[in-house]
Chains A and B, each alone.
Chain A
Amino acid sequence: MAKVTLNNVWKRYGKVEAVLDLSLDCKDKEFFSLLGPSGCGKSSTLRMIAGLEEISQGEILIGDHVVNEVEPKDRDIAMVFETYALYPHKKVFANMAFPLRVGKQKYSDAEIKKRVEKAAEILEITDFLDRYPKQLSGGQRQRVAIGRAIVREPQVFLLDEPISHLDAKLRTHMRGELKLLQRTLGTTMIYVTHDQMEAMSMADRIAIMNFGVLQQVGTPFEIFNRPVNQFVAGFVGDPPMNFIDCDLDVTGEKWQLVNESFRISLPSDLIDRYKENNGDPSSKPKEVVLGVRPENFIVSGKKGGEDNFPADVIVTEPLGEEMIVDIEIPNNKLKLKVSVDHDIKMGDKIWLDVMKNKMHLFNRETEKAYF
C-alpha cells in the first residue's frame, strides 16, 4: 500500500515556521501535486517525506508505517531533484544502475541490466546509456534523473519541480509525458511545482500551500471552480482572476453587487448557495470582493442589459485564437480573455457583462469565499 499521510506536520528552522500544521492524505496510485509560490513550504514538505529534512512535529506515514525516524534509504521512495543531481563521474547507465547497486536488496547484474534498459526504453534515452551527464542536454539529463528513479520500482515517486529548468516547449511536451508515465507505472507520485499549469494539467489532486499553510486540497476542477479563498482563486488560472471591490447590497429578495462602475444582480442559485454556507445576511451593505476570471466576461459594443457597464480598452494582446484585453474601469484595471473574433482595438470603449454562474464572492477582510 503506497499512500502517503501527513498528520499535523510542522517544520521549523529555528524560529521560522516553514510548514504549519499540515495534514494531507495522498492516495495510493495518485498523482498528487503540491502547488504554491516560492517559499510556501512545498519543497520542505517533500523533503520531509523523503527523509532529507527532520520533522519538527507531527507524523508522516508511508503506507501504514510511521517513517519519522526512518532513513531515506529505507523508505522505498525515489526522488527526482530540481537540478537532476546526476552523478557527474558516472555514465548514464551507471547513474541509473546506482540505486540498484547500493540499496539493501541485492540485484544480479543481469537483473540490473534488464531494469535499466527497460527504463531507458520508456524514456527514450537508450542511445545515451554510454555517455556522461555533461555530454547531455537539459532535457536528456532530466530523463536520466527520472530513469534513475523508476528503476527501483519504489512505492512512491517524489518530484521536486523537475521540469522548471527546461525551455517552454519542452516543458509543455514533458507534462503529457510525465502524466502518461505515471499512469503506465501506476505508482503514487507526489509532484512539487510553482507552476499552476503543470499542476492543473497533470495532477489527480492538488494541495495548494501559502506561507507554510495548506489552503485547499481538491481535484483541478474543484480548485479551479470552487476556490476556498482569494489566494487559491488568484493563483490558479492564467491570466489570473480579477478581483473587484464592491458592496453587497441586500434589499429583501434583491441582492446586488454595487460599486462606482456597476450594479450587478446576483442570480437566485448563487443567493441560495450563499445562504447555505453563511446564513442570512444582515441588511447593512457588506464589503465584499467580486472575483471574475478573464474568460468569464461577456463583451459587446453597446449597452445591453441593466447589469452592463462600460470600460476603456488600454491594451490588446492577441494570442492567436484568443486575445487578452486590458481594460480600465474607475479604480480598477482588469484583464479579459475573449475570442479574437471580437473587433476590439486599443482605445475603444466597450460594454461588459459578467457570466452569472461564474462569479465568485469573497469576504473582503478574511479573503475567504462565501460559496
Chain B
Amino acid sequence: MAEAELVSRAAKRKRAFWRTLMYVAIAAFFLWTTLPLLIMVLSSLKELRDAFQIPDIGDWAGAFEKMFNFTPTLRHYHNLFVEEHFLTYIVNSIVAAGSASVISVAFGALAAYGLARGKIKGEQHLSFWILSTRMAPVVAVMVPLYSIFTGLGLLEALRGRNLVGLILAYTTFDLPFAVWFMRSFFEDIPVEVEEAAKVDGCSNIQAFYKVILPLAMPGIVAALILCLVFSWNDFIFASVFGQQGAKTLPVATAELHSTVAIQWGGIMAAGTILITPMLFLGLLVKKYLVQGMTMGAVRQ
C-alpha cells in the first residue's frame, strides 16, 4: 500500500538520520581523542620551525598541509639521549616502576586472596582502609613519608643510584591499589575448586599456588601492568623522593621546561617516549580494567 510505503520510507529516513548522527558523534570523539596524540608525535619529529607552524585562522584547507608536510627529523630524540642523558632516566623509570610493581603485586596478591577468602569480621572496614590510601591528599602525606624515609637513611642508601627510596615510595601507592584491584579476581574463583584441592591432598599453601594462582593470573597480570603504568607515569612522588641519582622520565621531562625556555621539541619527544610503552600495556589490560577498578561490583 502506498501509505505503508510512505510511512516506512519516512521511518527509514529517520533512522538513517540518527545513524548518521551517531557516526558523526563517534567520529568526532575519535578525532578528539587521537588528534592531540598525533600532534604530539608529529611535533616530536618536526624541526621547531615546522612544529610551530599553524595555518591562518579559518584556513581549513591549509591545515592538512601544515600538519603533515614537513621534513622529519630525529634531532629532538637525539638531543634527549645525547645531551640530556635520557637513557639513564628511562632505565631509572623502568627499574623503579618495575620493581615497585613486582613487589606490590606479589604481596598484594596474598592480601587480595586473604581478603577475598577469609571471613574476616571487619571486611568492609578493611576494604575501606585500603581504599583510603587513594584518598589521602598526596601532598599532606608527602612530608611525613619523606621524614620517615630520610630517617631510615633510605634516600642516601646507595651513592649515586638511590632508587630504593623511590621504589618504596611507589610501593606505598601501588600495593593498596594492587590489593584493591586483584581482590575481585580472587573472589571469582569458586570456593569448591579450592576445597577440592584441599580434599585432593593440598595444604593451604599448595592449594594457593597450584590452583588459585593460575586461575587468578589474568587479574594479577592486569594489576602488574596497571601498577607499572601508574608508577611509570608518576611525577609527584618522583620529584620528591627521587634524588639526583634517581630521576625518572616524567621528572626529567618537566625539567625540559626551564626558566629560560621551554624545549618544546624535547618535551614532545620525551612525551612520546613516555607514553608509547604505556599505550601498548593499555591494550593488554583493557579487558580486566573495569572489574578490578570497581572492586568487582561491575564485571565484564
Contact, chains A and B (beta carbon distance below 8 A): yes
Q: Could you show 19 A-B contacts with beta carbons less than 8 Å apart?
A: A52-B195, A71-B198, A72-B195, A72-B199, A73-B202, A73-B203, A78-B200, A85-B190, A85-B193, A85-B196, A87-B196, A87-B197, A88-B215, A98-B200, A102-B201, A102-B206, A104-B201, A148-B196, A148-B200
A152 to B195, alpha carbons, bound, how many Å? Answer: 16
- A291 CB to nearest B CB, Å: 39
Q: Min CB distance, A165 to chain B, in Å?
A: 13
Q: Chain B's nearest CB lies how many Å from the CB of A176?
A: 26
**Which residues 44-100 in A have Cβ within 8 Å of B in the complex?**
50-52, 71-73, 77-79, 81-83, 85-89, 98-99
In the complex, which of the residues A78, A81, A148 contacts B192, with contact meaning CB atoms closer than 8 Å? Answer: A81
In the complex, whether B42 has a CB less than 8 A from a CB of chain A is no
Q: Given A83-B192, A87-B193, decide whether A102 and B199 contact each other with a Cβ distance below 8 A.
A: no
Q: Would you call B199 and A52 a contact (CB within 8 A)?
A: yes
What residues make up the interface of A, taking CB atoms closer than 8 Å to B?
50-52, 71-73, 77-79, 81-83, 85-89, 98-99, 102-104, 148, 152
Contacts A102-B210, A104-B201, A148-B200 given; indicate if A85 touches B195 (C-beta within 8 A).
Answer: yes
Min C-beta distance of A4 to chain B, whole Å = 15
Complex interface bits, B171-206 against A, C-beta within 8 A gives 1, otherwise 0: 000000000000000000010110111111111001
A52-B199, A71-B203, A99-B201 known; A85-B192 Cβ under 8 A: yes
Q: Which residues of the other chain, B, contact A85 by a CB distance below 8 angstroms?
A: 190, 192-193, 195-196
Give the residues in chain A near B193, CB-CB below 8 Å.
85-88
Instruction: Decide if A73 touches B196 in the complex (CB within 8 Å).
Output: no
- In the complex, chain A residues whose CB is within 8 Å of the CB of B201: 73, 99, 102-104
B118 interfacial by beta-carbon distance below 8 Å: no
Query: Cβ of B211 < 8 Å from any Cβ of A?
Result: yes
Give A264 to B198 CA distance when docked, in angstroms: 59
Question: What residues of B have a CB within 8 angstroms of the CB of A71 in the complex?
Answer: 198, 203
Question: At the interface, yes or no: B214 with Cβ under 8 Å from chain A?
Answer: yes
> Once the chains bind, are A78 and B206 in contact (CB under 8 Å)?
no
B190 / chain A contacts, CB cutoff of 8 Å = 83, 85
Residues on B with C-beta less than 8 A from A148 are 196, 200
Report yes or no: A81 in contact with B202, Cβ–Cβ below 8 A. no
Most A CB atoms within 10 A — which of B200, B203, B210?
A: B200
Q: How many Å from the CB of B213 to the closest CB on chain A?
A: 10
Residue among A72, A82, A103 having the largest count of chain B Cβ atoms under 10 Å: A72
The 7 A-B pairs of least Cβ separation, nearest first, read: A103-B201, A85-B192, A99-B200, A85-B196, A102-B201, A73-B201, A79-B199
- Return the chain B residue nearest A81 by Cβ: B192
Interchain nearest-CB distance for B212 vs A (Å): 10
Residue of B nearest to A104 (CB): B201
Taking a contact as CB atoms under 8 Å apart, the answer to whether B199 and A73 are in contact is: yes
Of all chain B residues, which has the CB nearest A151? B200
- Inter-chain CA distance A87–B206, complex, in Å, is 14
Is the Cβ of A72 less than 8 Å from the Cβ of B198?
A: yes
Cross-chain contact A81 with B200 (CB below 8 angstroms): no
Partner of A52, one of B198, B200, B214, B215: B198
List chain B residues, Cβ under 8 A from A89.
214-215
Q: Which residues of A contact B199 (CB under 8 A)?
A: 50-52, 72-73, 77-79
Residues of B within 8 A of A81 (CB): 192, 195-196
Chain B min CB distance to A153 (Å): 13
Complex alpha-carbon distance, A79 and B200, angstroms: 8
Residues of A within 8 A of B195 (CB): 50, 52, 72, 79, 81, 85
Interface bits B3-25 vs A (CB < 8 Å: 1, else 0): 00000000000000000000000
User: Which of B192, B202, B215 meets A102, CB within 8 Å?
Assistant: B202
CA distance A83 to B189 in the complex (A): 13
In the complex the two chains form, what is the Cα distance from A99 to B199 in whole Å? 8
Which residues of B lie under 8 Å from residue A73 when comparing CB positions? 198-203
* Cα(A16)–Cα(B211), bound, Å: 32
B167 nearest CB across to chain A (Å): 32
Most chain A beta-carbon neighbours within 10 Å: one of B196, B202, B206, B215: B196
